[in-house]
Amino acid sequence: MLAKPNPVQAPSQRTIRLAWWLAFVATIVLLAAVGLARSAQAAGPPAPSPGASLLPPFEAGEECEADEPECAEEDEGEEECEIGEEECEEDEAEEGEAPPECLLTTAQPRLSISASQQRLRLQVHYTLAGPADVTIGLRSSGGKGSLTLPASKHHLSHSGSLHQTFALSEAETERALDAKQFIVRLHVLDVPWACHRYDFHHLSIKRGSPVSPAFSEKRS
C-alpha cells in the first residue's frame, strides 16, 4: 500500500500577524537609530582644519589671479590714480603706516634676483609695536605669467631685518626676470581684520641689469 503524504500545515493567522509586527518594530528601531546618529553628528562642533587660523598668502580675487599674467589690482590702482592723484597718494601713504593695534607698523620689503645663481632674495626691514607671528607670501606678475613662491611663517619681535632666499627653476627664473612687479604679503596673525589692508606691498620699481634686477616699493 502507498503511504499517505502528510499535508503541510499552513501558518496560522496569529503566526503571520506576529511576524509582521516584529518586522515593523525592527524597521522603526532602525529608523530611530539612524535619526539619532544624524542628530548627534549635526550637534557636534566641526573639527578645525589645520591652519584654519591662517589666511592664505593670496586669496582668489583679492590680488593677482593665478591664470592672468597681469595683476588686476595694478590695473585698478592706475585707474584710481588717473581719477584723483591726491587721493591715490594718500592711500599709498596709509598703506605704509599701520596703526599700533596692527602690530607690524612699518615694513620696507626689497627683492633681488640673480639669473646666474637662479636665486631670489627677499629682505624686509620692519618695526613692530609688539611680538607677532607673520606669514610671508610672494607673487609676481609679468608677460610670461605669474610666479608664486611658498609661504613661510616667522615670529618677529621689536624691529629688525628679515632675509629669505628662494631657489628657482629655470622657468621660474625666466618669469622672475620678466616680472613687471612683485607683490609681498606680510600677514600678521591675531590682529583686527581691518589691519589686513596693510598686508600687501607692491614692488613696482625695477632697477639693475636685466640678469640681476632689484625691485622696491614706490615712495612719495
pLDDT at 144: 86
Cell numbers given for 107: 615694513
Please give the chain's pLDDT, 220 residues, in tens: 555 555 545 556 777 777 777 877 777 777 777 676 666 555 554 444 443 344 455 553 344 433 343 333 333 333 333 323 333 333 443 445 789 999 999 999 999 999 999 999 999 999 999 999 999 999 999 888 899 998 999 999 889 999 999 999 999 999 999 999 999 999 999 999 999 999 999 999 999 999 999 999 987 5
How far apart are the C-alpha atoms of 195 and 183, rounded to whole Å?
Answer: 17
How far, in Å, are 15, 97, 134, 192 from residue 105 at the CA level? 84, 6, 13, 13
pLDDT at 124: 96
List Cβ neighbours of 146 (8 Å cut-off, separation of 6 or more): 64, 66, 68, 69, 139, 140, 175
pLDDT at 192: 93
Given CATH 2.40.50.220, say whether it is the number of domain 72-216: no
DSSP label of 88: H
List Cβ neighbours of 150 (8 Å cut-off, separation of 6 or more): none
How far, in Å, are 55, 74, 190, 219 from residue 68 at the CA level? 22, 12, 31, 27
What is the domain partition of the chain in residue ranges? 72-216
The CA-based dihedral angle spanning residues 72, 111, 82, 92, taken in that order and rounded to the nearest 10 degrees: 100
pLDDT at 76: 38
pLDDT at 72: 38
